[in-house]
Structure 1
Amino acid sequence: MIIRIFDERDTQAVLALWAQAFPEYATPGKPQRDPRLSIRNKLAMQPEFFFVGLLEERLIGTVMVGYDGHRGWMYSLAVAEDERGNGYARALVEHAERALAAIGCPKLNLQIMANKPETQAFYAKLGYQMDEVVSFGKRL
């Protein structure tokens, strides 16, 4: 797999992958889960940290990260269903980790929906641990 920075020509392939990987995007009444808005926002803020994975010419994976000067955050890790189990998600995570480490990011955080134990297990295998925190949010 080749990992590179997202290009706007990747938009349709990313939207198709995210529709498959994140069925919660289709939940009515959740405007914050608009994948087109997520792409636009990432392109406006640290677009160099929006990575796609390609197998030959096919886009099979994504990951986005960001760094606020204090710690990093990871979002939108996705791999095509028919390519899972081949190490591509791990490769995308490791690529993102290296990119953040290169600019001095000391810690990478992520949030996982509570109803996704398989996702929690995946990250645990990569060395991530549950922090003893409670996550709060407020829609602006």
Structure 2
Amino acid sequence: MSRGADPDSAVALEADRDAVVALWRACGLTRPWNDPVADFDAAIGNATSDILLFRDGDGLVASVMVGFDGHRGWVYYLAVDPARRREGVGRRMMDAAETWLRERGAPKIQLMVRSDNIEAVAFYEALGLERQEVATLGRRLG
């Protein structure tokens, strides 16, 4: 999904913000403590991240946020329109994310899934991702 490689795919621009955030909300990916608009703006305004889109005609079907921190590639906000699930679009978005990360030299791909999201865990495992034996620790900075 490099820029211009596929007429139905693109890298998100500022004008895509409302549609992408609406898709994230429709897919249940947002939480009150995370501002999806700020997440969108940070991703598209950063040289080490992008939001990849898949459109079918004029409509937004899917998105995925990708980033490379210099050590690991990260995937966030993989969203597929609920009416378009089970068509291979999620797999296509993960392929695009992996391509984006490989092009930047990322040696490993990682993502976080809420532990109660059994369907998402099963999706990623079906794609060959494995559970990692790590504890995720964090603290809000603000």
Same fold (TM over 0.5): yes
1:83 aligns with 2:87: no
Q: From the superposition, tell whether residues 23 and 92 of structure 1 become closer, same or farther in structure 2 (CA, over 3 Å).
A: closer
Q: Which residue of 2 aligns with 1:63?
A: 64
Q: From the superposition, tell whether residues 113 and 13 of structure 1 become closer, same or farther in structure 2 (CA, over 3 Å).
A: same
The count of aligned residue pairs is 135
Deviations 1:42-99 (A, max 9, x none): 1222376211110111001110111111111100000000000000011011011011
Q: Any unmatched runs of 5+ in structure 1? A: none
Quick one: which amino acid aligns to residue 114 of structure 2?
Answer: M
Q: From the superposition, tell whether residues 39 and 23 of structure 1 become closer, same or farther in structure 2 (CA, over 3 Å).
A: closer
Q: Which residue of 2 aligns with 1:50?
A: 51
Aligned positions of 1:3-82 closer than 5 A: 3-22=9-28, 24-25=30-31, 27=32, 30=33, 33-46=34-47, 49-82=50-83
State the TM-score, normalized to the length of structure 2.
0.89
Identify the structure with the greater helix proportion. 1
State the TM-score, normalized to the length of structure 1.
0.90
Q: Give the distance between the partners of 2:132 and 2:29, measured in 1 at CA.
A: 26
Q: Any unmatched runs of 5+ in structure 2? A: 1-6
Q: Give the distance between the partners of 2:72 and 2:57, measured in 1 at CA.
A: 34
1:79 touches 1:89 (CA, 8 Å); kept in 2? yes
Q: Which residue of 2 aligns with 1:98?
A: 99
2:66 touches 2:74 (CA, 8 Å); kept in 1? yes
Quick one: which amino acid aligns to residue 122 of structure 1?
Answer: F
Q: Hey, which bits of structure 1, 4+ residues long, moved more than 4 A?
A: none
Alignment root-mean-square deviation, CA? 1.5
Q: Which residue of 1 aligns with 2:4?
A: none
- Which structure exhibits the higher relative contact order, with contacts defined as CA atoms closer than 8 Å and separated by 6 or more residues? 1
Q: Give the distance between the partners of 1:73 and 1:11, measured in 2 at CA.
A: 20
Identity across the alignment (%): 33
Quick one: which amino acid aligns to residue 87 of structure 2?
Answer: N
Quick one: which amino acid aligns to residue 101 of structure 1?
Answer: R
Quick one: which amino acid aligns to residue 75 of structure 2?
Answer: M
3-state secondary structure, aligned to 1:49: strand
2:13 touches 2:44 (CA, 8 Å); kept in 1? no
